[in-house]
């Protein structure tokens, strides 16, 4: 943590925030390749699609190699994805998180909330220290029954769909599940997502805000106010709705009129003072943190679950191994206890592998704390930054072998993990600003996959080809599955319990 504060001091003086173009901070930018057809004024737009900027960058990366740059109008960005360069940029003594591009676009919404705070902002350390214990082992064990409760609502819905012979909308239902899980475990709030046919308006507003931030990434700031006037108005209304909803949740907790509590994240935000300084989070900061957790805590997890279910439905041999493990480890227990979840080692590898191929937060940005050289070859001035393309790092043959596109959970067997270089797997980011919710997400996703595979057979739509929709996070677009009910002993026992 001290490193973040030190870096901040240098940074505070030297670095303009946000979208500083690479030519300010990379003195030897010429050494870094860019796409060959550069159009004057607009830059590298040939073949670019505003809806799929990430998939465009993947194609460019495959052509240009482990470091490259792309220019959009006056701004040029450096992308890094080779295993060696990614390991170098993970060095916390020389680099730190950079709040830029999509993340900076969220600042008007969540300001100095944990995810969007600049490294030097005092509220980052304060909130981190107050909230980190909310993700301890004890805290996680407390969330487990709530996670089970939400999973039961999902299976009730999927049972209905199965009986009707209808397909399930995987990303839609995983989004409901993940939103209810973080909102109930974090804030004692029930959005009633499974009782609605259409998404809760909170979700619609949140998705609108993420999509707006994404569009602002690709539309130059000079013409954005004109082009996005209508969208900006909708964005302001969405933001007002989010703030209003969160204020109601907080007020109900303060007044004691809401359920929940028992030391959840909201209780920590309201009641816990910093152990050293005695400082507390302000009301405005609490609002920002609640929105941050609701956004960060559900889109990414629902995508991870959706991709895992896609691959499981297409790889019967993987599904059979996962199910054998679940039946063996959980036996005929009606519901798994907290400790039973981490025992599903193979199921966890399925998730790891799904997050390798489709890290649902597909990139993160890093900036130089002082003058340095990336990979001993690319000089950088203080504040110069690059986007680490996790999604390509996870496909670098140097680390992952000759067939990185193949889905193979055995890549995460302990011996295989030990044989790889460090820093080649980063779905949760890196360093002091890595994901605080990692354990929460992994526990939730492993638990839910265990429950679903134990209960259902998964039948993919034979005509479906994986399509990726890009907001700030990734999702398999249009993924549906048909279900069959399994009838082994474990499931029939569970059924008789659930029916009672």
Choose the binding region for ligand HEM from 87-95, 409-417, 422-430, 490-498 (rule: CB under 6 A).
Answer: 422-430
Q: Is 286 in the site for ligand HEM (CB under 6 A)?
A: no
* Listed ranges 50-58, 233-241, 293-301, 457-465: which one lies at the site for ligand HEM (CB under 6 A): 293-301
Active-site annotation holds for 300? yes
Residue 366 C-beta: closest distance to ligand HEM, Å? 8
Structural tokens at position 72 = 């959009």
Which segment (27-35, 153-161, 292-300, 451-459) binds ligand HEM by CB under 6 A? 292-300
277 exposure class (CB count in 10 Å sphere: 0-12, 13-18, 19+): exposed
Report if residue 441 touches ligand HEM, rule: CB under 6 A: yes
Is residue 302 at the binding interface for ligand HEM, with CB under 6 A as the rule?
Answer: no
Q: Is 435 a catalytic residue?
A: yes
Shortest distance in whole angstroms from residue 413 CB to ligand HEM: 21
Q: Should residue 179 be labelled a site residue for ligand HEM when binding is judged by CB under 6 A?
A: no
CB of 127 vs ligand HEM, minimal distance in Å: 8
**Residue 435 interacts with ligand HEM (CB under 6 A): yes or no:** yes
Residues 326-365 that bind ligand HEM (CB under 6 A): 360-361, 364
Active-site annotation holds for 52: no
Span 93-122, contacts to ligand HEM by CB under 6 A:
97, 103, 114-115
Q: Considering the complex, what minimum distance in angstroms separates the CB of residue 429 from ligand HEM?
A: 3
Token readout for 127 is 């909130």
Q: Which residue among 115, 181, 435, 446 is the active-site one?
A: 435
Number of residues that bind ligand HEM (CB under 6 A): 26
Binder among 429, 453, 454, 476 for ligand HEM (CB under 6 A): 429
Q: Which of 187, 293, 307, 428 is catalytic?
A: 428
Residues in contact with ligand HEM by CB under 6 A are 97, 103, 114-115, 128, 182, 292-293, 296-297, 300-301, 304, 360-361, 364, 427-429, 433-437, 440-441
Active-site residue list: 300, 428, 435
């Amino acid at each position: 943590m001290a490193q973040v504060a030190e870096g901040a001091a240098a940074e505070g003086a030297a670095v303009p925030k946000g979208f500083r173009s690479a030519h300010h901070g990379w003195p030897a930018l010429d050494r870094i390749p860019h796409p060959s057809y550069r159009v004057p004024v607009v830059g590298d737009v040939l073949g670019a699609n505003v809806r799929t900027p990430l998939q465009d960058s993947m194609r460019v990366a495959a052509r240009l190699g482990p470091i490259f740059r792309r220019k959009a109008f006056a701004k040029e960005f450096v992308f890094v994805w080779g295993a060696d360069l990614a390991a170098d940029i993970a060095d916390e003594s020389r680099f730190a998180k950079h709040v830029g591009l999509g993340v900076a676009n969220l600042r008007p919404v969540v300001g100095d909330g944990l995810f969007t705070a600049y490294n030097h902002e005092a509220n980052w350390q304060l909130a981190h220290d107050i909230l980190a214990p909310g993700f301890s082992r004890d805290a996680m064990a407390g969330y487990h029954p709530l996670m089970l409760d939400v999973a039961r609502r999902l299976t009730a819905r999927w049972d209905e769909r199965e009986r009707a012979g209808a397909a399930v909308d995987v990303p839609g239902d995983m989004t409901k599940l993940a939103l209810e899980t973080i909102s109930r475990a974090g804030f004692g709030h029930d959005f009633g997502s499974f009782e609605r046919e259409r998404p809760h308006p909170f979700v619609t507003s949140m998705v609108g805000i993420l999509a707006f931030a994404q569009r602002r990434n690709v539309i130059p700031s000079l013409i954005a106010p004109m082009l996005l006037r209508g969208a900006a108005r909708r964005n302001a209304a969405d933001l007002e709705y989010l703030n209003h909803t969160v204020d109601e949740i907080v007020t109900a907790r303060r007044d004691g009129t809401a359920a929940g509590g028992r030391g959840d994240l909201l209780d920590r935000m309201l009641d816990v003072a910093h152990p050293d300084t005695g400082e507390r989070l302000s009301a405005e900061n609490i609002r920002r943190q609640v929105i941050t957790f609701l956004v960060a805590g559900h889109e990414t997890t629902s995508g991870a679950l959706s991709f895992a279910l896609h691959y499981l439905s297409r790889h019967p041999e993987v599904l059979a191994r996962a199910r054998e493990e679940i039946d063996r480890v959980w036996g005929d227990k009606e519901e798994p206890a907290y400790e039973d979840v981490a025992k599903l080692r193979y199921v966890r590898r399925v998730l790891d592998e799904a997050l390798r191929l489709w890290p649902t937060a597909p990139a993160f940005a890093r900036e130089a704390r002082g003058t340095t050289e990336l990979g001993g070859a690319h000089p950088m001035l203080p504040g110069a930054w690059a986007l680490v393309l996790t999604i390509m790092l996870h496909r670098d043959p140097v680390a992952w072998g000759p067939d990185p596109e193949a889905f193979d959970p055995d890549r995460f067997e302990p011996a295989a993990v030990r044989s790889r270089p460090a820093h080649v797997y980063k779905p949760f980011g890196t360093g002091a600003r890595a994901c605080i919710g990692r354990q929460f997400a992994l526990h939730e996703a492993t638990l839910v996959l265990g429950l679903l595979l134990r209960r259902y057979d998964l039948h993919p739509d034979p005509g479906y080809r994986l399509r990726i929709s890009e907001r700030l996070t990734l999702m398999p677009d249009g993924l549906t599955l048909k279900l069959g009910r399994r009838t082994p002993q474990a499931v029939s026992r569970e059924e008789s319990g659930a029916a009672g």
